[in-house]
Structure 1
């Protein structure tokens, strides 16, 4: 499968069939504004109609894999509504998404908290969680996740001693609440919408591709551009967006997608593939997310394809040990979000995510935002620690390691206020 001819900032680069040895690259990054035929894109219209589809096809086939469209038989069931949740601050809703319309088929449980003290419809932040909907709050009304739940005594983010036979117990409520500051989000007038990653696609070696939404699409794996787990999570976020388009309490035109770590990778790809997401918040998404591969720093393609072989398409494996020679890179994924707002967050001690590579990626994407008359990232140099820079692209580098903190959320909400609450 040929992936064509690509232009670098500093010259032309050629790559042949998948699996061939890549030629020695020249310095610089692939120029997102140079088409596969070598011609340069000069207008926003040309980007949208010609170059953007080229890049989406490239990243779909070579990195993320293909996904099915919106399921024809999908149905929604609101199985819980409580207008006095969280001491009266919020209305809690829980919605079951039946992917094929069958109660015994793939099901995604969605948890929504809507602020009560603001006029509706409200803007929303949607993001997947790592340890079940019940983990984000001690609220006893949240349905316990029934999908597989990892266990372990040494997890640095949550206490998973509450797990029995890889299933959640009542003791698991609120185990990850510190990463989801509900009060702050609701006080700013945003709804929070979340779902458990394992409901959509398994991250467990023994059950990958055999649970969640993959059950409905068994024939999408035996191909080099297979329906991998990152893409399944992104696809699931779009199914949640399908529901938010019909819930009158949500302003469907002001929905941001959020993700941290591997779920930050999924959030970026969801933003690319579903333009209904009005903004993207990507926290420490690293390799295959916001960071540049071509720097050769942080988590490598070989690690992605060997430790997490289910995350991406099989085609990505041909680039193992060739990170610095790629004919594409992740700044082009960020550029595919233009002209919508996107925030990239890094942490000083998160070496695997390569904070400098995440910053440089955001900076290199700005050239596409300028086609739309937007400012992109408003600084050419990485900002001081714990300082946010915000244009249409936002960025900060905070102290600490791989995590989601109140400081991260403070800047995310500030960024969304700027773009979602303009007069």
Structure 2
């Protein structure tokens, strides 16, 4: 009985921690913290060579992130059935080939369709592409009546015509400003996008999406060390990459992973765990994305675990309010992408995402880029708004709110072009 009361007390304290902690928006209130060393293994070995990083420290960090933050994938899922619904070369007045592909995953009497929308430059064979999840369904990224409406669960937005978690024609094209497709095409790139809720609906409910594919008898949610939604979304990006490797219209060596907000968090983990992605762009990803957790600035681990308990694995809950006990921090996540190009971006009015913490994280990760003989972030000073710092590790803070805008896309296109130029 005493143990039960103690356990209940822990749950009450942990559950209310996010509400009790004052949100930090002033640098003077950021607590003193010490980051875990990036180039020192758990047994104290200094990592001085690329081979040591690749054989010792990188696998160690991947294991720690998987075990304590994202959760491990419990097993293999068979390759999907691939259904090509459309290949149309007259999109955007002939500028683009619009392609719609469905990946149907099947296992243990379960079936999960994941729909891919592609706009590829008609004049560029084997085009490089940006790959990113969207928030409201593929049909939301362009006012195009030919895009198939998602049938997956979507957050209610009555003003957008999304009611009872189902979309309607009214939601077509509502996110088009975040996806400047013609700008992307004119720069010589294609766009590949997927509704993230196809892979796993963004709610505290593990009865749908990909998770139940591996449940044992009587199991209703992943075990504490098994994947949460963030790891499932990262897994989904890798499955889309599997398809892109076989698509003759895509240059699979030049797939640029991009994510905004929570989908920026997922993109970073996907890029860290899957080296096939050529580069990664994190837009306003904040806590458990690019920002350093130990700063506790804006959104914190406790807030994430309280508001979105399904995002990360059960083991991660014990770090609510105890960021200093985490064996990792997000500079290590960014470093796992090295030596591939990385872009981290923030916004002046998005203090919740801790812009300075994102910048400092990218700067710390540059230590591993330097190990590869590549200069990472080229400045020690936090840049002025709207003044991007370009390099193998790039950064900008844009004037404005939590969003992805044409200004952001202009920088990402310039960054991608620079990084893909022959040396």
Normalised to the residue count of structure 1, the TM-score between the two structures is 0.89
- Following superposition, the deviation at residue 147 of structure 1 comes to 0.6
**Which of residues 79, 83, 102 is equivalent to 2:85?**
79
Structure 1 position 198, deviation (Å): 0.8
Query: Partner of 2:206 in structure 1?
Result: 209
| Residues 70 and 390 of structure 1, relative CA distance in 2, 3 Å threshold | farther
Shift of 1:104: 6.6
Counting helix residues as a fraction of each chain, which structure ranks higher?
A: 2
What SS does structure 1 have at the residue aligned with 2:293?
Answer: coil
- 2:282 aligned counterpart, secondary structure: strand
1:146 equivalent to 2:145? Answer no
Q: Distance in 2 between matches of 1:322 and 1:28?
A: 13
* 1:68 Cα deviation after fit: 4.6
CA contact (8 A) 1:107 1:212 kept: no
Please say which of residues 254-263 and 143-152 is displaced more in the overlay: 143-152
Partner of 1:178: 177
- 2:138 maps to 1:133: yes
CA-CA distance at 1:325 after TM superposition: 4.6
Asked if 1 retains the 8 angstrom alpha-carbon contact of 2:178 and 2:406, the reply is yes
Query: 1:33 matched to which residue of 2?
Result: 39
Task: Flag the 1:176–1:103 CA change in 2: closer, same or farther, 3 A.
Answer: farther
Structure 2 distance, partners of 1:322, 1:316, is: 10
**How much has 1:101 moved relative to structure 2?**
7.2
Matches for 1:11-50 after TM superposition, within 5 Å? 27-50=33-56
Superposed displacement of residue 138, structure 1: 0.7
Cα–Cα, structure 1 residues 103 and 257, in superposed 2: closer, same or farther, change >3 Å? farther
Q: 1:26 to 1:346 in 2, by over 3 A?
A: closer
Structure 1 distance, partners of 2:75, 2:96, is 33
Query: Which deviations, in whole Å up to 9, do the C-alpha atoms of 1:367-392 show, x marking residues without a partner?
Result: 00001111010101111110110111
Alignment check: 8 A CA contact 2:335 2:368 kept? yes
Question: Once the two structures are superposed, what CA deviation does each residue of 1:320-339 show, in whole Å capped at 9, x if it has no partner?
Answer: 11124533210000000010
Tell me the alpha carbon deviations over residues 173-211 of structure 1, each in whole angstroms, 9 at most, x when there is no partner.
100000000011111111100010110001123xx2222
* Residue 114 of structure 2 corresponds to residue 108 of structure 1: yes
Indicate the SS of the match to 2:68.
helix
1:200 corresponds to: 199
**Conserved 8 A contact 1:106-1:216:** no
| Corresponding position of 1:93 | 99
Between 1:194-203 and 1:66-75, the stretch displaced more is 66-75
C-alpha deviations, 1:62-106, integer Å up to 9, x for none?
011112565334221111111111221100111111122799711
Q: 1:405: how far off?
A: 0.6
* Contact 2:154/2:201, CA 8 A, preserved across alignment: no
- RMSD value over aligned CA atoms? 1.8
Following superposition, the deviation at residue 343 of structure 1 comes to 0.4
Summarize the alignment of residues 18-417 of structure 1 with structure 2, pairs less than 5 Å apart: 27-68=33-74, 71-100=77-106, 105-118=111-124, 120-152=125-157, 160-205=159-204, 208-219=205-216, 221-417=221-417
Distance 1:50 1:26, change over 3 A: farther
Question: Distance between the aligned counterparts of 2:56 and 2:39, measured in 1?
Answer: 10
Taking structure 2 as the reference length, the TM-score comes to 0.89
